[in-house]
Amino acid sequence: MKVDASNPLWRFRGITSTAMLFFAYLYLPIVILIALSFNENRLATIWTGFTTDWYVAALSNDDMLRAAKNSLVIAISATVIATIAATLAAMGMSRGRFRGETGVSAILALPLLVPEVVTAIATLLFFVAIGIKLGLVTIIIAHTVFCIPFAYLPIRARIEGMDPSLREAANDLYANEWQAFRRVTLPLLWPGILSGAMLSFIISLDDFVISYFVGGAGATTLPIYIFGMIRIGITPEVNAISAMMLLVSIVFVSISFIIDRIRY
Amino acid sequence: MSEVVISAQSVGKTFGSGAGKVTALKDVSVDIFQNEFFTMLGPSGCGKTTLLRLIGGFEQATSGKILLEGQELNDLPPFKRPINTVFQSYALFPHLTVRQNITFGLEMKSISRDAANARADEMLELVQLADYGDRVPNQLSGGQQQRIALARALAPAPKVLLLDEPLSALDLKLRKEMQIELKRLQTETGITFVFVTHDQEEALAMSDRIAVMQSGEILQVGAPRDIYEQPTHRFVADFIGDSNFLRGDLVDAANGGRAISFGEGRVVNLAADITPAKTKDVSVSIRPERLTITDANAPLDNKLGGTISSITYFGTDTTYRVDLDGGAPVTVRMQNGDGATAPFGKGDRVGVVVPAEAIRVLVD
């Protein structure tokens, strides 16, 4: 790390140890989890040697693979629907000021703030009331709702950063509304759209509370499957599955972050 | 006069409604001719950009109509008007190369790729950036982006080119160069340019005709010389160049014509062709360089007495501030002669000669 002497932070003597403690607090549990996923011993707390057997075991566990497949189907469906809705919402919101604009913005971001368990119960009640059978479809619907704000925010930020005269310039150069969208607006927005989609995907993949409430039998997602496993006991296999989920999350969030930094 | 290309007829535009209603244009009528460099000049908020955007189709007129070669434009979206725009921010497409930017409009008009590329080369040649086709806009300087924006807008050979303060982001030296460049492009392409600016010097230097605008109205339309020498409104005289403003009453002159009296014994004759609308408390303007200072006792007509209150030396000329008898101060700008000594000093009693044809009677 490059130490800049002019930064007053460095005059605080305990800065290094404080920072280390902070990062240890954040990441030590995760580091331990990853380390133990390579532990030969069945007892999670005793280290006896290195092995990748637990990964092999996890990847050949049919129940786990079924749960992972459910999670993927849900995450991809929710992401696609949420991203399309968020893109349309962001474009609509940017077309000019209108009455109640602040209110609509707040409502769009509200799912981020409502306690998840409240959303879960409300959604469950709603599905029961209208008589939809709980399953993958209900989870997809529920996930789409909370994915929309995650997709919306980076797309909206992109649109805000776009010179409105670019669209006018396209119209001026004989492009009709659709051509202007396809040839100018969309290429300029795609980093925001992709970034928002990847965030949505991860949020959906990692969700536990809502999936647990609105999923029925046969709609077990990966987090629910893991939860079921640890009720029996923490095994290195659970650690291995968790480590793989972590890897997927890190990859997606990193890509999302990098894409969002693309500037023309 | 040649053919009318753009005709605005009683065009009005209001934004918003109720208490937040803003009138940007009120009942503006103007004709813009074929192959003309036409400038709309005025301070920010005068409606010049709104009028430009109405011609471009980016806004809809609230009342009145705009015609292009006699065809009503009102309901046509921008992409159906044979009019192109150079935007203030240039609005070059950042994800496309310079060449793709220039061919964009041609492609949308379904012109073949080969023809479009040939036209792009021609345009790059025209704006003297022949080797820049494969760059992207962010690799270009402000002045180069400006030229590409021009090339892109000229490529589809529009009937009218709209320019929305395109030089305002450039530094002074580049701005002067681009003024000459724009004038050259207009002459070479023969396309009608409609240019919007708040810079009076820019307007005077480039335009065939200028429309001076204020508060959503066109006050005066004319050649730069007419606008400068014969302003009709106080705002025009004040906005373009420096002016002295005086008020007086209209009287009959000794020579049978009309004269204006600024008080007992302080009367100057007016040119014969001036017919003010009213006779009491008439507003007039006189350019400082049209006034001359003489000896207080010189036997000359149209001479007002006064006292020099300050002198500022500018090299090629000197500016005198003279407090006229009766109160009003005027500024007199005189070319420096042989440069040996200043002919007049501060505090001197002098006469200020006001040529009859230098006096403009204004609408307030």
Helix (H, G, I), strand (E, B) or coil at B298: coil
For B44, counting Cβ atoms within 10 Å of its Cβ (0-12 exposed, 13-18 middle, 19+ buried), the class is exposed
User: Contact at 8 Å (CB) between B14 and B22?
Assistant: yes
- Alpha carbon dihedral A159, A162, A164, A170, in 10-degree steps, equals -100
What would you measure as the largest C-alpha separation in chain B, in angstroms?
Answer: 79
Question: What percentage of chain A carries pLDDT values higher than 70?
Answer: 97
CA distance B95 to A37: 45
Distances (CA, A) of B185 to B153, B154, B169, B205: 12, 9, 20, 15
Q: Is the separation of the CB atoms in A121 and A204 below 8 Å?
A: no
- State the CB neighbour count (10 A cutoff) for residue A30: 12
pLDDT, tens only, A49-69: 888 888 998 888 898 899 999
Residue type at position B265: G
Encoding tokens for residue B301? Answer: 């007509």
CB B261 within 8 A of CB B267: yes
Please report, as a single letter, which amino acid is at residue B116: A
Asked if the A53-260 domain carries CATH number 1.10.390.10, the reply is no
Given a contact cutoff of 8 angstroms between Cβ atoms, the answer to whether B323 and B309 are in contact is yes
- Which residues does chain A have within 8 Å of residue B92's beta carbon, measured at their own beta carbons? 169
SS (H, E, C) A165-225: HHHHHHHHCCCCHHHHHHHHHHHHHHHHHHHHHHHHHHHHHHCCHHHHHHCCCCCCCHHHH
Q: What percent of chain B has pLDDT over 90?
A: 59
Higher pLDDT, B241 or A218: B241
Q: Looking at the complex, report in whole angstroms how far the Cα of residue A188 sits from the nearest Cα belonging to chain B.
A: 7
Tokens of B27: 């009942």
Backbone torsions φ then ψ of A153, nearest 5 degrees: -60, -50
Is A168 in the B-facing interface, judged by CB distances under 8 Å? yes
Say if A7 is an interface residue toward chain B (CB within 8 Å): no
Residue B252 or residue B151, greater confidence: B151
Going from the C-alpha of B81 to that of each of A205, B42, B115, B154, the distances in angstroms are 50, 26, 21, 14
Per-residue pLDDT of B23-33, as tens digits, reads 899 999 999 99
Domain extents for chain A? 8-37, 53-260
Res. A7: pLDDT tops 80: no
Q: Does B340 have pLDDT greater than 70?
A: no
Q: What confidence score (pLDDT) does residue B203 get?
A: 93
The residue among A206, A193, A196, A190 whose CA lies nearest residue A75 is: A206
Closest residue to A169, CB basis, from B80, B83, B91 = B91
Token code pair at residue B218: 């066109």
Pick the residue from chain B with its C-alpha nearest to A186: B95
**Beta pairing partners, B161:** B84, B193
Q: Are A166 and B84 an interchain contact pair (Cβ–Cβ within 8 Å)?
A: no
Q: Do domains B4-237 and B242-361 have the same CATH topology?
A: no
Domain made up of B242-361: CATH architecture: Beta Barrel (2.40)
CA neighbours within 13 Å on the CB side: how many for A14? 3
Topology (CATH) of B4-237: Rossmann fold (3.40.50)
Averaged pLDDT of chain B:
89
Closest-CA distance, B93 to chain A, in angstroms, reads: 7
> What percentage of chain B has pLDDT greater than the value 70?
98
| Candidate from B93, B109, B138 with C-beta closest to A174 | B109
Nearest C-alpha in B relative to A96 = B16
pLDDT at residue A223 in the model: 93
Query: pLDDT digits over A116-172, tens only?
Result: 999 999 999 999 999 988 889 999 999 999 999 999 988 998 988 888 899 999 999
Q: At what angle do helices A62-93 and A186-206 cross, to 10 degrees?
A: 140
Q: What is the pLDDT of residue B347?
A: 86
Q: Residue A44 above 70 pLDDT?
A: no
d(CA B68, CA B4): 8
Q: In this structure, what token pair is assigned to residue B36?
A: 């003309």
Contact A175 B108 (CB under 8 A): yes
Could you say which of B57, B79, B85 has the minimum Cβ distance to residue A176? B79
A163 and chain B in contact, CB less than 8 A: yes
Is the Cβ pair B91, A173 closer than 8 Å?
Answer: no
Of residues A165, A174, A179, nearest to B91 (C-beta):
A165
Question: Hey, where are the domains in chain B?
Answer: 4-237, 242-361
ipTM: 0.81
- Give the contacts of B30 (CB within 8 A, at least 6 positions apart): B7, B8, B211, B218, B221
- CA–CA min distance B165, chain A (Å): 14
Chain A residues in contact with B91 (beta carbon < 8 A): 163, 165-166, 168-169
Six token digits for residue B116: 């479009």
- Alpha-carbon distance of A210 to A123, in angstroms, equals 8
Average pLDDT of the residues in A231-256: 87
- Cα gap B342→B311, rounded to integer Å: 10
Instruction: Using CB atoms, pick whichever of B79, B88, B89 lies closest to residue A171.
Output: B79
Nearest to A158 by CA among A120, A196, A126: A196
B216 Cα to chain A: minimum distance (Å):
23
Contacts of B81 (CB under 8 A, 6+ apart): B56, B57, B68, B73
